[in-house]
Amino acid sequence: MQIPAPFDYARATTVNDALALLERHPDSRVVAGGHSLLPMMKLRLARPEWLIDINDLYELDFILREGDYLRVGAMTRHTTLLESPEIARLFPIITDAERVIADPIVRNRGTIGGSLCQADPAEDLSTCCVVLRAEAVIRGPGGERTVSMSEFHRGPYETAVAQNEILVEVRFPILPRSGSAYEKVERRVGDWAVVAAGAAVSLAEDGTIDDVAIGLTAAGIDRTITEAEAVLHGKKPTEGLFIEAGRIAAAASDPIADQRGPVDYKRHLADELTRRVLRHACARALEVRHTTTQEG
């Protein structure tokens, strides 16, 4: 029987209440969906003295469009993201990823904030947020600060969120004529990725690629792959360019061999999946472009 070591439990009623609890109890962890933290506590990989439950912070459960940003509250559950028509329209990469994150029952509990703060190197939403150039809003005793996703990620299981702070929101910039896609290869339903890839593109008015970001999950690289993006910049999307970008992304990846597969297989996936998500993201961007033209 796996039972966590003893701890004290407090349920926060507001974000400020949660911050006060974190301040009062230095050896504490915040729990949202709990589907990463509780298993770690069962295995004694985490052993906080206090657990601060933020499931009552409904103020952090929202998806709101504000100007050129989509604001997503940290307590937004995976199921909510998966079922959001606004997310599907603006950031289909998130819908793609949510379909393959864990299983429908786990998705009822897990949250975007929890996934990002857990910062597992094989976690899917981190890649989505990086390629969408999202910003993380972190609140602490001194107020709010906003960091880019590259600043947010400090390495495996480490983020910019300090012990006395909480991730409250993720902000996604909305770009015109844009498309995005995510694809993951997993051994079985609900597993972590063997490797996954995500891409986001936005097109200029003449149909050339204005901005592009490519990211890989579980491939030993947590930044966007700028060297692969460089071959696409300013050009019209073509299959030849996708193949070239895939080759470069695979070379830039640094996967490790484990029970999910050997290095050469993972590199092969990085190559193939990069091509696929670029193809898909560009097709979606063109679709948006046509729809906009028709509407406008």
Partner 1 sequence: MQISMTVNGEDITREIEPRVLLVHFIRDVLRLTGTHWGCDTSNCGTCVVLMDGLPVKSCTVLAAMADGHAITTVEGLATGAKLDPVQQGFMEEHGLQCGFCTPGMMLTARALLDRNPHPDDGEIREAISGQMCRCTGYATIVRSVKWAAEHPAAQETTGEEVTA
The tokens for 87 are: 């997310």
Name the CA dihedral angle for 138, 121, 73, 203, rounded to a multiple of 10 degrees.
100
Nearer to partner 1, 42 or 133 (CB): 42
Residue 7 found at the interface with partner 1 (CB under 8 A): yes
289 binds partner 1, rule: CB under 8 A: no
Q: Taking CB under 8 A as the rule, does residue 62 contact partner 1?
A: no
User: Is residue 19 a contact partner of residue 139, using CB atoms and an 8 Å limit?
Assistant: yes
Would you count residue 8 as binding partner 1 (CB under 8 A)? yes
Q: Least CB distance from residue 30 to partner 1, whole Å?
A: 13
**How far is the C-alpha of 229 from the C-alpha of 249, rounded, in Å?**
9
Q: Which residues contact 29 (CB under 8 A, 6 or more apart)?
A: 37, 46, 48, 50, 51, 52
- How near is the Cβ of 64 to partner 1 at its closest, in Å? 23
The window from 28-36, 121-129, 150-158, 215-223 that contacts partner 1 (CB under 8 A) reads 28-36
Measured from the CB atom, the residue of 9 and 67 that comes closer to partner 1 is: 9
CA distance 145 to 161: 10
Dihedrals phi, psi of 202, to nearest 5 degrees:
-130, 140
Strand pairing of 178-186 and 135-140? Answer: unpaired
205 part of the interface to partner 1, by CB under 8 A: no
- The CB-of-279 to partner 1 minimum distance in angstroms stands at 25
Q: Among residues 125 and 138, whose Cβ is nearest to partner 1?
A: 125
Q: How far is CA 293 from CA 120, 206, 210, 253, 276, in A?
A: 40, 12, 18, 38, 26
* Binding residues among 96-135 for partner 1 as defined by CB under 8 A: 102-106, 108-109
Among 14, 17, 55, 268, contact with partner 1 (rule: CB under 8 A): 55
Is the Cβ of residue 11 or residue 268 nearer to partner 1 in the bound state?
11
Q: Considering the rule CB under 8 A, would residue 53 count as an interface residue with partner 1?
A: yes
Say if CB 249 and CB 243 are below 8 A apart: no
Q: Which residues bind partner 1 (CB under 8 A)?
A: 1-9, 11, 31, 34-35, 38-39, 42, 51, 53, 55, 102-106, 108-109, 189-190
